[in-house]
C-alpha cells in the first residue's frame, strides 16, 4: 500500500495487507468523491497504462477542472481527471464540454469500476456545471478497446491519426505520448 494523504491506495498485490477490511466484491461498493489534483496526478502515475505523466499547470490552467477517486473502506481503487477540452477550439461548442483526460484503475478494483465511475462522474460534473452540453474522451486504439465508453452509453464519433509532430508554442510532444490513432467518444446531455 502507498499512502495518498489520509487514504490508502490499492496496489496490485497478491494478498491483502494491513488494516481496513475486505476488498470490494462489486463496483456497487465503491464511493466516489472529488479529490485534490495533486493526489489525482500521483494515483494516475501509479496506475495509468499509457500516460502516467501529467503536468499540474496543464491541468489546472483550464476554465473547468476536477478530479475524482473511487474508494472502499479507506482504500482508493480508481482515479479520473477532467478538464476543459484540450482542443476546445476545434470542437463545435467545445467551451461547453468537459474532457476526461485521464482515468486509471488499480488492478485490485472490482469488475465494472470504470463504467460505474464514469456514470457517477457524468452526473456530478453536470451538477457542478449545469451549462455543460456534453463530454468527450479519447481512446488509445493500441491499448484499449473502448469497452468502458460503450458500456457507459457513449458514442464513438471520429478516429484521428497520430500526430507525431505535435508542437505548440515551441513545445514538442512528450516522448512517452502514445502515437496510436485515437477514437473520440462523446456523451451528450
pLDDT (0 to 100) of residue 153: 94
Burial of residue 47 (CB within 10 Å: 0-12, 13-18, 19+) is buried
Chunked into runs of 10 residues, the chain (189 residues) has average pLDDT values of 55 43 87 98 94 93 97 97 93 94 96 96 98 96 92 93 58 65 95
Domain ranges within the chain, ordered by starting residue: 2-135
**What pLDDT does 179 receive?**
82
Overall pTM surpassing 0.75 (yes/no):
yes
The DSSP bridge partners found for residue 81 are 67, 102
pLDDT of residue 170: 60
Q: What is the pLDDT of residue 114?
A: 96
Which among 111, 110, 112, 131 is positioned nearest to 120, based on CA atoms? Answer: 112
The verdict on domain 2-135 having CATH code 3.40.630 is yes
Amino acid at each position: 500500500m502507498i499512502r495518498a494523504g489520509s487514504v490508502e491506495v490499492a496496489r496490485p498485490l497478491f494478498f491483502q495487507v494491513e488494516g481496513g477490511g475486505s476488498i470490494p466484491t462489486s463496483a456497487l461498493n465503491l464511493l466516489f468523491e472529488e479529490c485534490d489534483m495533486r493526489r489525482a496526478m500521483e494515483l494516475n502515475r501509479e496506475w495509468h497504462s499509457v500516460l502516467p505523466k501529467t503536468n499540474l499547470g496543464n491541468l489546472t490552467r483550464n476554465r473547468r477542472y476536477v478530479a475524482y477517486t473511487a474508494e472502499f473502506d479507506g482504500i482508493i481503487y480508481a482515479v479520473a481527471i477532467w478538464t476543459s477540452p484540450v482542443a476546445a477550439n476545434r470542437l463545435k461548442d467545445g467551451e461547453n464540454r468537459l474532457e476526461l483526460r485521464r482515468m486509471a484503475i488499480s488492478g485490485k478494483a472490482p469488475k465494472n469500476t470504470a463504467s460505474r465511475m464514469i456514470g457517477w462522474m457524468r452526473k456530478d460534473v453536470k451538477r457542478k456545471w449545469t451549462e455543460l452540453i456534453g463530454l468527450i474522451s479519447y481512446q488509445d486504439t493500441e491499448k484499449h478497446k473502448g469497452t468502458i465508453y460503450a458500456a457507459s452509453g457513449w458514442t464513438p464519433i471520429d478516429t484521428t491519426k497520430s500526430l507525431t509532430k505535435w508542437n505548440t508554442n515551441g513545445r514538442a510532444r512528450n516522448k512517452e505520448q502514445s502515437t496510436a490513432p485515437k477514437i473520440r467518444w462523446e456523451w451528450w446531455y
